[in-house]
């Protein structure tokens, strides 16, 4: 895929240098000498990434960044400056910059940063395309995320939304199964018909059959009037059977018949009724285990499992935590009469570390609490519940091993892994850097850059 990058700097030589370096990677480079010129380029060209100087005459880097975030909110911006300070870096990131590099910079470092920014841009474009396919006229605000695992869910929704196939949504509690079911209905061929949801675990077993199929007056004690069941309520539309794994075995046989023959029989009424319903079932149980334990009918399982869609746990889509949290903060803040503009880096880092056993539902509750207690427009880490800071991420134990020290942040963890990998390659190659680079499949130049970045000093080099 070809990309267009706009370089903004008042030094023509630096613009030419960056254009030459980036074009070697197949990138088309546009240049601008100041912020105003850059905005004119952005209005006429399809730019994927902006690399902007910090200090420029007229409209400087911070002002240009603010304008880009206002006019082109999804366009990534890399800020560069010779006046490298922590304050500038933090400020640019808080204001929406994708990343920050300091002059003079290593070309390999620039290549890595640019590659990450363009990958981010591609993900945003891909997500926009998928959502446009799901609904030509309206964005799905409830389905938020760009992680690979969640994009697979979006692809599955797109594949099945126009069909009448029975769908089985699986995943832990709080992963958004009902939200996905509603999205499938909303963007399918039954969107103008009823969507009826039933929580099979919340209805007493003695009432579940009547709830599903309806009953005639006098069919049992307390049946003082005719009742239309959920299947008939959902006729021509969608019936969502949540927690299907909790349905008692006797009722499972009747549900199976309804799915196979599209016929129901209300309690106390011998007359059969035809129904036209698309069924979406959901469970947080392992239904195959339930089948093996004789707790769930095998024939019903296969009838439900026509089109399975597994939903990932929130800990498996960490990159989606920040956009989900911002979405909840915006909607919940508006409800509470507060204007919440976002989260501090420390707050986002704390949320990314936590394992979220309650998944999206727990995240929403967490953000709601933080929105209430926050005294500023930006939610800080001290606004978050204390339990977030008492739990290490579940994934760390799987990767690092039980009892291993967990680094303080993701970048530190990756740096430790990278350093250990490079040291192992150096040991295996007896200190020969070219051989070590070959062992781990990178160029010598990239290997030297990593040595410098990680502070590794090679004392023994054999040529």
Hey, which bits of 284-414 come out as E strands?
A: 307-310, 342-343, 378-379
Specify the pLDDT at position 270.
Answer: 79
Specify the pLDDT at position 367.
Answer: 93
Render pLDDT for 295-332 as a digit per residue (tens, 0 to 9).
999 999 999 999 999 999 999 999 999 999 999 998 88
HSE-up of 168 (CA within 13 Å, CB side)? Answer: 18
Per-chain mean pLDDT for the chain:
83
| CA 229 – CA 199 distance, rounded (Å) | 14
Specify the pLDDT at position 439.
Answer: 66
Six-digit token pair at 454? 């990680």
> What does the pLDDT average to over 432-458?
74
Specify the pLDDT at position 411.
Answer: 63
Q: How confident is the model at residue 435 (pLDDT cuts 50, 70, 90)?
A: confident
Task: Indicate the pairing of strand 167-170 with strand 278-283.
Answer: parallel
Give percent of the chain above pLDDT 70. Answer: 83
Specify the pLDDT at position 390.
Answer: 66
> What does the pLDDT average to over 104-122?
86
Out of 138-142, 337-341, 455-459, pick the least confident.
138-142
Place of tokens 């949320």: 351
Out of 33-37, 184-188, 308-312, 335-339, pick the least confident.
335-339
| CA 289 – CA 263 distance, rounded (Å) | 29
Q: How confident is the model at residue 429 (pLDDT cuts 50, 70, 90)?
A: low
Render pLDDT for 53-63 as a digit per residue (tens, 0 to 9).
888 888 888 88
Q: Of 217, 237, 218, which Cα lies nearest the Cα of 227?
A: 217
215 beta partners: 227, 267
Specify the pLDDT at position 137.
Answer: 36
| CA 59 – CA 54 distance, rounded (Å) | 10
131 pLDDT higher than 90: no
Show the domains of the chain with their CATH numbers: 4-128 (3.40.50.2300), 148-310 (3.40.50.300), 315-395 (1.10.8.60), 407-454 (1.10.10.60)
Q: Tell me the CA distances in angstroms from 44 to 10, 30, 67, 165, one per residue in order.
A: 21, 12, 16, 45
105 pLDDT higher than 70: yes
> What does the pLDDT average to over 265-269?
85
Q: For residue 225, count CB atoms less than 10 angstroms from its CB and return exposed for 0-12, middle for 13-18, buried for 19 or more.
A: exposed
Specify the pLDDT at position 455.
Answer: 79
Q: What is the pTM of this model?
A: 0.56
Out of 183-187, 226-230, 375-379, pick the least confident.
226-230
Specify the pLDDT at position 85.
Answer: 60
Render pLDDT for 60-90 as a digit per residue (tens, 0 to 9).
888 898 889 888 888 999 988 765 565 666 6
């Amino acid at each position: 895929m070809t990309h267009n990058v706009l370089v903004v700097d008042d030094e023509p030589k630096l613009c030419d240098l960056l254009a030459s370096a980036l074009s070697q990677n197949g990138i088309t480079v546009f240049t601008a000498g100041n912020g105003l010129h850059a905005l004119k380029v952005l209005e006429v060209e399809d730019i994927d990434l902006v690399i902007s100087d910090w200090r420029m005459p007229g409209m400087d880097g911070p002002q240009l960044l603010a304008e880009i975030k206002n006019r082109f909110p999804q366009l990534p911006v890399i800020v560069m400056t010779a006046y490298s300070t922590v304050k500038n870096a933090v400020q640019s990131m808080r204001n929406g910059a994708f990343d920050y590099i300091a002059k003079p910079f290593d070309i390999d470092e620039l290549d890595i940063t640019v590659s990450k920014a363009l990958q981010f841009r591609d993900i945003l474009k891909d997500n926009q395309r998928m959502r446009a396919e799901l609904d030509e006229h309206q964005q799905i605000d409830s389905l938020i995320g760009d992680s690979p695992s969640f994009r697979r869910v979006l692809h599955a929704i797109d594949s099945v939304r126009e069909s009448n196939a029975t769908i089985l949504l699986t995943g832990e509690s709080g992963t958004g199964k009902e939200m996905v079911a509603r999205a499938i209905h909303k963007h399918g061929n039954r969107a103008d018909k009823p969507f009826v949801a039933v929580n099979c675990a919340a209805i007493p077993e003695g009432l579940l059959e009547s709830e599903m199929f309806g009953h005639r007056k006098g069919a049992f004690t307390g049946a003082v009037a005719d009742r239309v069941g959920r299947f008939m309520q959902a006729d021509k539309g969608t019936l969502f059977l949540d927690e299907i794994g909790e349905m008692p075995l006797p009722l499972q046989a009747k549900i199976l018949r309804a799915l196979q023959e599209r016929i129901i029989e209300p309690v106390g009424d011998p007359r059969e009724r035809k129904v036209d319903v698309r069924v979406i079932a959901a469970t947080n149980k392992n239904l195959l285990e339930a089948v093996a334990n004789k707790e769930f009918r095998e024939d019903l399982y296969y009838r439900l499992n026509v089109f399975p869609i597994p939903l990932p746990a929130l800990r498996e889509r960490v990159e989606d935590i920040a956009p989900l949290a911002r979405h909840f903060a915006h909607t919940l803040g508006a409800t509470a009469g507060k204007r919440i503009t976002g989260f501090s880096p420390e707050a986002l880092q704390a949320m990314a570390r936590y394992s979220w056993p309650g998944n999206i539902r727990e995240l929403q509750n967490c953000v709601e609490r933080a929105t209430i207690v926050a005294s500023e427009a930006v939610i800080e880490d001290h606004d978050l519940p204390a339990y977030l800071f008492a739990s290490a991420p579940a994934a760390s134990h799987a990767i690092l091993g039980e009892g291993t020290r967990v680094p303080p942040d993701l970048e530190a963890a990756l740096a430790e892994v990278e350093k250990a990998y490079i040291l192992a390659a150096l040991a295996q190659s007896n200190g020969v850097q070219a051989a070590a680079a070959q062992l781990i499949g990178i160029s010598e130049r990239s290997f030297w850059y990593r040595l410098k970045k990680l502070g590794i000093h090679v004392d023994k080099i054999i040529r």
